[in-house]
Amino acid sequence: MTQLLLRARPQPRLRAHLIGERWSDRQPDRAAGQVLVIFAGAIVALMGLSALVVDVSWYWASTLRVQRAADAAAMAGAVWLPGNTSQAYAAARAEATKNGYTAGGEVTVTPIQDSRAPGGVNPRQLNVTISAPVGTYFARAVGISSFTATRTAKAEYVQGVPMGSPLAYYGVYRNCKVSGSSITCSDLPHAAGGGTIPSQGFFGAIEGQGSNRSTGDAFATGYNSDPTANSQYDPKGYDYMIEVPSDGATVYIWDPTFCATTSGPGGGHLGAGDHWLSTANHSAAVPTSTYFRLWDTRGTQFTTSDDTRADPTGDDLLFANRRQVDKSAAYSQAATAGGQNNDFSDGSEPNVTGVGDCQADPYHNAWWPLASGLPAGIYRLQVTTTDPSNPTANQSQAFENMWSLEVVGGGAPRIFGAGRMVSYANIESGTQLFYLAEIDQRVGAGKTVVIDLFDPGDVGDKAWLQILSPDGNAYAPVRFSWTADGNAAAGHRSGANVNCIQTYGNGSAVSPPAGCADNYTSGGQFFQNSWIRIEVPLSESYGSTGLRPPGEPADGWWKIKYTVNKGNDTTTWMVSLRGNPVHLVVP
């Protein structure tokens, strides 16, 4: 009995244990319910977060699309500035439409020329702002059906670098002639009277289609050398841009006709310097033709296809097929003062018997009005020696014609070479300066200036060439690297981190400018018929402390400095900035 009782005692503990087992079995049921509630809440939060991510991602992707449309619109319209703002705006809106954004309703497309915006300073820049609704997906559940995406783009059209002059005249040198027993030179009068024009150091120039390019004109000449064709020959010649801010302008040309004059004791020709040239198969003193045509660009400087004539029809033929010399004592071989060479050409004097006398020509050593009463706009003066109606008619015409330009009226007009030009400099003893090109801060900072010179420095005496920058409101020679093509003399084909180029080797004891060496005593013309490329890197801070030295009429104008004893030189110049001419402006 006792044993049985002892055996029965553990049973309550076993029951309790069993009860405890059943209690513990119930614990996971309650925990599972809690996890289910938490999981359901997490799902709701995750779905909400996913909805937010989807809507935000869609908005972000849509703003990229709006930005690209604004970029395209700004670049499409910028090419019409600064001359045609209405067309710039129309082109920008049309490009926005192509990319899916047509102004109307909730979509706005707002182009504006930068100079018209508060604080704007760049009339060649177009700013375009596009705003458009972006639909939502999940945000609609809380009453938000769309967000507004607004993006702005800025684009600039950097046109050909202005060259040669910041003023209302271009290619103005001096009128040199015999006076008694000496040569005297005087500044040219203003076209409308009232004083004289300070010399710019060179005349505008162009050579005949039958000339050799080795005489200095790289593009209007047809031969290299005669009879070998010049691969760079361009029958369209050269373009010079004329900006007229207001109505009523008149364009004048000094000495547009060809009228040969003799050369003076320093080698430069008298008057404007017109003279015949000799080639292998084309003799000097053949008739000459120069054509001046003025075109209204209609605000589209990036294309000439829509240009219209702005000068009287037929006037461009006034100076065709001229065979004449100035027989006056002041300019001709009759003058004997100062040891003149008494010729009318480079190495071949024509027989003046039977050749017309142009001393009394109303367009010789005088201003000729090419066009008057011009309305505000941007014009292109084309100068060529190729007959526009017969490309082969002038293939034997070997000559050089010099001239100048001035615009009277029209507010504050400007004339400059459009990316390339030809100059004829009657270089005098000492230091000579003339304008090269305009490089302003907003366009040039951080870029590289590329200067191409053809056949420079044929002055018959020791000579050095330097490039002066106005950075910091003071002119100073820049350091640059340069290379020349295979036509350059051996040993004169490259340089690095220099501030000058010696262009002529032998001659008198002319002292080189500071920082330049005189390493050559023979060899003469180092760059005959040769292209030189000069590259000048600009820092990001270029122009930050000013670009107008005292006395200068405008900002950013670089200069050429020649140090030479004497001589004359015809040179082709080209200046550009490395980079895409139409580009976005990053804030």
Q: What are phi and psi of 193, to 5 degrees?
A: 80, 180
Q: Which of 164, 218, 183, 255 is nearest to 428 (CA)?
A: 183
b vs e for 458-494, b when ≥16 Cβ sit within 10 Å of the residue's Cβ? Answer: bbbbbbbbbbbbbbeeebebbebebebeeebbeebbe
CB neighbour list of residue 482: distance below 8 Å, 6 or more residues apart: 494, 495, 498, 501, 532, 533, 534, 535
Tell me the average pLDDT of the chain: 84
Contact 177, 94 (CB under 8 A): no
For the residues of 286-329, what is the DSSP string, one character each? --B--EEEEEE-TT-TT-STT-EE-S-TTGGGTTSSB-EE--ST
Residue 580's φ and ψ, nearest 5 degrees, are -70, 125
Query: Of all residues in the chain, what percent carry a pLDDT higher than 90?
Result: 53
**Mean pLDDT in residue range 352-373:** 88
What H or E segment, with its residue span, contains residue 529? none
- Residue 202 in this model has a pLDDT that exceeds 70: yes
pLDDT at 6 over 60: no
- Predicted TM-score of the model (pTM): 0.80
- Among the ranges given (82-91, 198-207, 219-228, 560-569), the one the predictor scored with the smallest mean pLDDT: 560-569
Composition of the chain by helix, strand, coil, percent to 5: 20, 35, 45
At residue 415, φ and ψ (nearest 5 deg) are -130, 135
* DSSP-derived 3-state class of residue 561: strand
Strand-pair partners of 379: 242, 296
Whole-angstrom distance, CA of residue 577 vs CA of residue 342:
44
Q: Give 402-431 pLDDT, tens digit per residue.
A: 999 999 999 999 999 988 999 998 766 677
| pLDDT band with cut points at 50, 70 and 90 for residue 347 | very low
Q: In the structure encoding, which two tokens stand for residue 437, read together?
A: 């090109």
| 8 A C-beta contact, residue 208 and residue 400 | yes
Question: What is the residue-wise DSSP string for 414-475?
Answer: EEEEESEEEEEEEEPSEEEEEEEEE--HHHHTTSEEEEEEES---SSS-EEEEEEE-TTTS-
Measured between alpha carbons, how far is 117 from 115 in angstroms, rounded to an integer?
6
pLDDT confidence tier of residue 578, bands split at 50, 70 and 90: confident
Query: According to the model, what pLDDT value does residue 429 have?
Result: 66
Question: Do 536 and 478 form a contact (C-beta atoms < 8 A)?
Answer: yes
Residue carrying the six token digits 């004497």: 566
User: Shortest CA distance to 429 belongs to which of 336, 501, 509?
Assistant: 509
Burial of 421 (0-12, 13-18, 19+ CB in 10 A): buried
SS3 41: helix
Q: Say how far residue 288 (Cα) sits from the centre of its chain.
A: 31
How far, in whole angstroms, is CA 530 from its chain's centroid?
A: 22
Cα separation, 357 vs 322, in Å, equals 11
Q: Which two tokens stand for residue 83?
A: 């001359």
Q: How confident is the model at residue 104, as a pLDDT?
A: 92
Alpha-carbon distances, residue 272 vs 76, 340, 543 (angstroms): 44, 16, 37
Q: Residue 349: what pLDDT?
A: 47
C-alpha 385/C-alpha 541 separation (Å) is 43
Measured N-to-C along each axis, helices 10-78 and 85-98 cross at an angle, to the nearest 10 degrees, of 140
Distance (Å, whole) CA 480 – CA 436: 16
Average pLDDT over residues 473-489: 96
Please give the share of the chain, as a percent, with pLDDT higher than 70: 81
| Mean per-residue pLDDT, 509-527 | 80
pLDDT surpassing 70 at residue 11: no
Classify residue 55 by its DSSP letter.
H
Residues of 31-65 as b/e, b for ≥16 C-beta within 10 angstroms? eeeeeeeeeeeeeeeeeeeebeeebeebbeebbeb
